[in-house]
Structure 1
Amino acid sequence: MYTIQANPSGTRSMEISKKNLQTIEKYGLFRHLIDSTGIVDEEVLEKLKWNVRSLIASETENSKDLLDLCIDVIYHNNMKAFGLQQLIKLYISWFKKEEEEDDES
């Protein structure tokens, strides 16, 4: 379990599970999410929400992992643009660590 800061003052946080990170990777949710400015704002969060809704609507199989990600992270009360930026940073560091472990195997 990982913890990310959800606001700049640090008074709110969110718990992120390894399964949440694996779901983000499985569906490539962060690919092409941020435009060339690199700024994560509320519009980027809305774009992510629309992308996930679209995936859930088009899934013919069980999309429990996406639904769990929505409940636990994306639609969490504390999730704002700052929290998404922290989630993206966590995801990048987690993904690099996973790649290193795979290379060692």
Structure 2
Amino acid sequence: MKIQANHSGTRSIEISEKHFKTIEKYSLLDNLVDSNGIIDEPVLDKLKFNVRSMLESETMKDNDLLDLCLDVIYNNNMKAFGLQQLVEAYKQWKAAQPAADDNDPQNVTD
């Protein structure tokens, strides 16, 4: 899937299924946007700082997260408009995912 990265539509960023799964795994977009719902450059900076902190952690050795950073979050084309498009694309992707089956042993928590 491609997201539009700027208002004029001259720049785009390719988002893969793996990117969406990594966003979901780390809940990167949860509580990112304030209650006003506005996505601006400080929100993008907040995401970058959060991810950088995760990557700098000695316990964090996830190549998928690193790929997400290189391909999407720190992409030269990523601006606040692109992040807004990413959030919308993620919502659409998430809605299209099958609901978790309560009988699935992988989804059971103790």
Normalising by structure 2, report the TM-score: 0.87
2:108 alignment counterpart: none
Cα RMSD of the aligned pairs, angstroms, is 1.6
Larger radius of gyration: 2
- The sequence identity of aligned pairs, in percent, is 60
Local SS of the residue matching 2:99: helix
Which 4+ runs in 1 deviate beyond 3 A? none
Q: 1:33 to 1:59 in 2, by over 3 A?
A: farther
Q: Which residues of structure 1 form unaligned runs of 5+?
A: none
The number of residues matched between the two structures is: 102
Within the alignment, does 1:68 sit opposite 2:67 as a pair? yes
2:2 alignment counterpart: 3
Normalising by structure 1, report the TM-score: 0.91
Local SS of the residue matching 2:9: coil
2:46 alignment counterpart: 47
Is the Cα contact below 8 Å between 2:3 and 2:15 reproduced in 1?
Answer: yes
Within the alignment, does 1:17 sit opposite 2:10 as a pair? no
CA deviation digits over 1:1-52, x for unaligned, max 9?
x010011111111100000010000000001100011000000000000000
User: Partners of 2:2 and 2:88 in 1: how far apart?
Assistant: 12
2:99 alignment counterpart: 102
**Structure 1 or 2: more helix by fraction:** 1
Local SS of the residue matching 1:53: helix
